[in-house]
Amino acid sequence: MNDDVILKERHGNVIVLSMNSNPHNIMGPRLLTPLVAAMREAVEQGGRAIVLRSNLRNFCAGADVTLFDALIEEATTGKAQAPTMELTVLDILQAFEALPIPIVASVRGACLGGGLELALASDYVVAAASAKLGSVESALGLHPLMGGIQRQVQRIGLARAKEMSMLGRRYDAETLERWGLINLVVSDERLDAVALSVATELANGPTVAHAATKKIAAIAANEGVEAADLVMAELQKPIWASKDVKAGLASFLAQGPGLTKFEGC
């Protein structure tokens, strides 16, 4: 049995990162620290898209609840406790948001609590038809702690977001696709192939433009359309300096759209 917490494979320009923390990819330092490191390493190694998946039966069944003891103690006594994680919640969310390449979450099995928040921090979510997803923290007297509420509001609106976080239900993937929380649902047997296909299409596209798209989309979601408009021209400058835009325009004029072979630079 492979003891690596994050398994890595390369398929052309795509880096596949498989979470492998037995038994259910419970979220804590053991999983998240090497995951963020592997994501950054993928960029350093020239990867142009990432598939985030599970090597186990479940994508991620939530957080390591033993980590909450320090938070309870601090709230009860008012005394700050020693940090239990190298990365804060904001560190993790910013690592996903700031990564300059697309992240495709490939969800199978249970994707609950913090696991759903990992998926929602990604850029594209494809789920197996049998997957069950939900913000189940209310069963513990909590609510989503890693940005799940606000990302649900962004994607599916206030009413549905409150429903998910307050009722704590598990939803089938097709329902959440219909609501617009996730991008795509496929049969279980096609999940890996479809996730890789989506990531390959992204990875073979204009990587510099994709990085700018992620930045502008994040600003629009977090600060509003006007804020995104104000920084749009500045964030587009790397696109105009890229080889890909020159190749894309030349190919379009010579052959029409859709035939450019982008180099990602």
Whole-number pLDDT of residue 235: 97
Q: Please say whether the structural domain 6-203 has been given the CATH code 3.90.226.10.
A: yes
Q: How far is CA 3 from CA 19, 20, 30, 120, 165, in A?
A: 11, 8, 12, 27, 34
Q: Which residues contact 136 (CB under 8 A, 6 or more apart)?
A: 62, 112, 113, 168, 169, 170
- Given the structure tokens 């090597």, which residue do they identify? 55
CA distance 260 to 265: 13
CB distance 121 to 98 below 8 Å = no
Q: Are strands 132-134 and 171-172 parallel, antiparallel or unpaired?
A: antiparallel
**74-126: pLDDT as tens digits:** 778 877 665 555 788 889 999 999 999 999 999 999 999 999 999 999 999 99
Q: What is the pTM of this model?
A: 0.93
Q: How many residues does the chain have?
A: 265
CA dihedral 246, 249, 250, 255 (to 10 degrees): 150
Residues 14/50, Cβ–Cβ less than 8 Å: yes
Which is higher by pLDDT, 179 or 62? 179
Residue 257 has what pLDDT?
Answer: 85
Give residue 48's region: left, alpha or beta (phi > 0; psi -120 to 50).
alpha
Quickly state the pLDDT bin for 64 (edges 50, 70, 90): confident
Which carries the bigger pLDDT value, residue 26 or residue 80? 26
Q: Where are the domains of the chain?
A: 6-203, 207-255
How far is residue 113's CA from residue 120's CA, in Å, rounded to a whole number?
11
Say what percent of the chain tops pLDDT 90.
81
CATH code of 207-255, in short, is 1.10.12
The answer to whether the CB of 127 falls within 8 A of the CB of 177 is yes
pLDDT of residue 83: 54
CA distance 92 to 250: 39
